[in-house]
Amino acid sequence: MAHSATAPSPLSTPVTAKLPNKLPIRAILPWAAFFGLLMLVLLYFVGAEQGATSLFSGSGVHEWVHDGRHLLGFPCH
């Protein structure tokens, strides 16, 4: 299924008619606000918790995700 816009048609309407519609910004924003934040919290626990900053004391989180943190490129100890 190629959605190529370079079809040799002189009119642009048949091509754009096959393309998916824009999603309205107001439909995206609530999801972006809530899930964007949730995803960033997850990334924080994988990438930075008990390194530069700690929400939980100890080093259990850091040690558990240690190898992934190094290999995904996050600064570690």
Contact residues for other proteins, defined by CB under 8 A: 1, 3, 5, 13-25, 27-28, 30-32, 35-36, 38-40, 42-43, 45-48, 51-53, 58-60, 63-77
- Determine which helix (DSSP H) or strand (DSSP E) holds 55, and give its type and residue range: none
Q: CB 25 → other proteins: shortest distance, Å?
A: 7
Q: Both tokens of residue 59?
A: 């080093």
Return d(Cα 24, Cα 21) in angstroms, integer.
9
Instruction: Give the amino acid at 43.
Output: L
Q: CB 4 → other proteins: shortest distance, Å?
A: 9
Instruction: Give the amino acid at 72.
Output: L
Nearer to other proteins, 31 or 55 (CB): 31
